[in-house]
Structure 1
Amino acid sequence: MVMLNLERGRQLLYLSKAQIEALHFSADDVRDAVEAAFLEKAAGRVEMPPKPGIQPSPDAFIHAMPAYLAGMGAAGMKWVSGFPGNRRFGLPYITGLLILNCPETGVPLAVMDCTWITEKRTAAATAVAVLRLALERVERMAIIGAGVQGRANADALRRVRPSIREIAVFDPSSEARETFEQEVSSWGLRVEQAGSPQDAVSEAGIVVTCAPIVKNPKPVVLPEWLKPGCVVASLDFDATVTPAVAHAVDGMWVDDGEQFEYYRRHGHFAGMPTSYQELAALVSSGNPQAAPDRRYLVVNLGLALEDMAVALALYRRAVAKGIGTVLPC
């Protein structure tokens, strides 16, 4: 193992997805980085404007996601796209690149694939919330959307709630359900391919929704489906969870209020409450909120602060291990 010696401003590091995977950055490593980022946010040391974007087609997006975490020395931007139709080309729904900058000089330190980062940090943010809101002995989890995020969240949540024994999954694609079952059952968990969203959600202590984000959503999850003590993590904006759920639960958290309101102004979250709490405050409080008679909703939009915290940790490990491709600036 040879540590890289990069000449700042004249060389940068490129990390492909395969090179990132070779760093063996664990789910716990990702969660630690994400938790640290939320603590930075709670302390007021994060600059993160709402993500501007373009829409090449009605249900597709390409977003710019910049962030600066002063206390961690992390700065940069993720340029990420989500195209639901990519499956027909054999391509992932989410693709993109991340640029990590030196906060002292502004020069680029690294360019890296962002599909791995997006997958893992999104699931880690769910785990951060579940650690503080879900009952400790929950045994059944429901996942709506059996794609990459469905599998990543199943993996992240079984680690923070090892009591989980069964996962009910719903997805309109039988291929996606089969892939989900094949992977998740290999971890020793029982997988039930539910015939409907309601069948999946009923009796689940944790519900994760991760369907594609669409311009004209048709949400289906209703409050009467949710049992006491249940935590719902909505990762797909308003695609799956109805506003009625938000009004019926005993507490609602969002990962960032400014971005939540930004998307409300751009047509999402019609009918959703205007009163809620932020996840960063929950993390910094140190007070878990789980209760057997209370139901909670977490709306995680996905934040650039998570990306930059994880990217910086990956960059440092790559330099230390001598992994990556050195390019001239």
Structure 2
Amino acid sequence: MLILGRRDVKAVLDGADGAVLRTVRDTYVAHARGETSVPHSVFLRFPDDDRNRIIGLPAYVGGARPVAAMKWIASFPGNIGHGLERASAAILLNRVDDGRPVALVEGSVISARRTAASAAVAAEELTVGAPDDVRTGVTLIGCGVINAEVLRFLRAKLPAVADVALFDLDAGRARAFADRIRRPDLRVEVHERIDTALAAHRIVSLATTAGTPHLTTAACRPGTVVLHLSLRDLAPESILVATNVVDDADHVCRAATSCELAEQRSGGRDFIAAELGAVLARRATVPYDPHAVTVFSPFGLGILDAAVAAHVLDTAASRGLGTHLPDFLTD
């Protein structure tokens, strides 16, 4: 058993955004081709506590580098007020020939980066054919770890991005975030109102801790692509009038997401235009629509964690990183 802590994971992934983007894209395509297995996530909740949760995401990815894994990720929003990160996670990887566990990997860094990479892959694909100015700015709603990663991965995919609009319910947090990301080639503006932030740019990333819908897309300009990463921000009415792309329809229409509420409201899933993997594999098309809002709602498939964790494991092992426990499975 190889144990890889946060420092080991970052040693592999820092400066490796291109590898993460390729891994995420390839995994979506493998999913579209039926080369994966993704059982539904398991939500562990606590009595008299509707805010905190721990989620288990089992997954298998086939292909040239097969891997089976389980991500166990806790979301405790109150941590932020105590100076701790909201999410903490561990990923257990198993061999697929004999089922034996081979690695325990710190998972919060992997989780944040695969989420951001999926957003960047979607943003690039869903703005193909858009006017050039669509790819020059982004609005970030929620000034936390996820949107910090989204900005970096977006700029890797869309290097023309040079303007950022920020909004957070905690204005001080938004200003501190602005100070961290500001640089000579990046113009940053903190907005006091969410509607002006939503209208500022035609790529919008929603990464909040909202448990129920609190937004519509009414303030978004036509042609906006919304990366609905936190899944529960948008009112079902906004989902139903948008062009919707998801990572997996069966996964995203559950657990009280905005998509599930839209399904309940409409009585079906006809509002979903395509799954991202099918678009990337050229099995479906979702042309850029300058007259409508397009929403990407990714449930966050465990196959992405499994594939990126396998990359981390292979690279770390080749570099001699981590702590090896040779007797983990023996007396």
Instruction: Identify the residue that residue 174 of structure 1 maps to in structure 2.
Output: 171
Instruction: Identify the residue that residue 196 of structure 1 maps to in structure 2.
Output: 193
**Matched residues in 1 for 2:235 and 2:316: separation?**
42
Alignment partner of 1:17 is 2:11: no
Q: How much does 1:302 deviate? A: 0.9
**Matched residues in 2 for 1:165 and 1:202: separation?**
16
Judge conservation of contact 1:59–1:83 (CA < 8 Å) in 2: yes
Q: How much does 1:262 deviate? A: 3.0
**Matched residues in 2 for 1:131 and 1:33: separation?**
15
Which amino acid letter does the alignment assign opposite residue 29 of structure 2? L
Alignment partner of 1:49 is 2:47: no
Instruction: Identify the residue that residue 229 of structure 2 maps to in structure 1.
Output: 235
Q: How much does 1:228 deviate? A: 2.2
Moved segments of 4+, more than 4 Å: none
Taking structure 1 as the reference length, what is the TM-score of the superposition?
Answer: 0.89
Alignment partner of 1:103 is 2:100: no
Structure 1 residues without counterparts, runs of 5 or longer = 1-11
Judge conservation of contact 2:3–2:323 (CA < 8 Å) in 1: yes
Q: Which residue among 73, 77, 80 is the counterpart of 1:80?
A: 73
SS at match of 1:269: helix
Q: How much does 1:221 deviate? A: 2.8
Instruction: Identify the residue that residue 326 of structure 1 maps to in structure 2.
Output: 324
Q: How much does 1:267 deviate? A: 9.1
Judge conservation of contact 1:202–1:227 (CA < 8 Å) in 2: yes
Alignment partner of 1:271 is 2:257: no
Which amino acid letter does the alignment assign opposite residue 88 of structure 1? G
Structure 2 residues without counterparts, runs of 5 or longer = none
Judge conservation of contact 1:237–1:269 (CA < 8 Å) in 2: no
Judge conservation of contact 2:231–2:258 (CA < 8 Å) in 1: no
Which amino acid letter does the alignment assign opposite residue 171 of structure 1? D
**Matched residues in 1 for 2:215 and 2:6: separation?**
35
Judge conservation of contact 2:236–2:259 (CA < 8 Å) in 1: no
Judge conservation of contact 1:198–1:221 (CA < 8 Å) in 2: no
**Matched residues in 2 for 1:150 and 1:76: separation?**
25
Alignment partner of 1:261 is 2:256: no
Q: How much does 1:25 deviate? A: 5.2
Aligned positions, number:
312
RMSD: 1.9
Q: How much does 1:322 deviate? A: 0.9
SS at match of 2:209: coil
Q: How much does 1:237 deviate? A: 1.4
> What does 1:63-142 align with in structure 2 at a 5 Å threshold?
63-71=55-63, 72-134=65-127, 135=130, 136-137=132-133, 138-142=135-139
**Matched residues in 2 for 1:282 and 1:176: separation?**
36
**Matched residues in 2 for 1:110 and 1:104: separation?**
15
**Matched residues in 2 for 1:86 and 1:233: separation?**
24
**Matched residues in 2 for 1:211 and 1:279: separation?**
22
| Sequence identity percentage | 25
**Matched residues in 2 for 1:237 and 1:145: separation?**
13
Which amino acid letter does the alignment assign opposite residue 77 of structure 2? P
Taking structure 2 as the reference length, what is the TM-score of the superposition?
Answer: 0.89
Judge conservation of contact 2:171–2:192 (CA < 8 Å) in 1: no
Instruction: Identify the residue that residue 6 of structure 1 maps to in structure 2.
Output: none
Judge conservation of contact 1:98–1:111 (CA < 8 Å) in 2: yes
Closer/same/farther in 2, CA of residues 196 and 308 from structure 1, 3 Å limit: same
Q: How much does 1:199 deviate? A: 1.1
Judge conservation of contact 1:165–1:189 (CA < 8 Å) in 2: yes
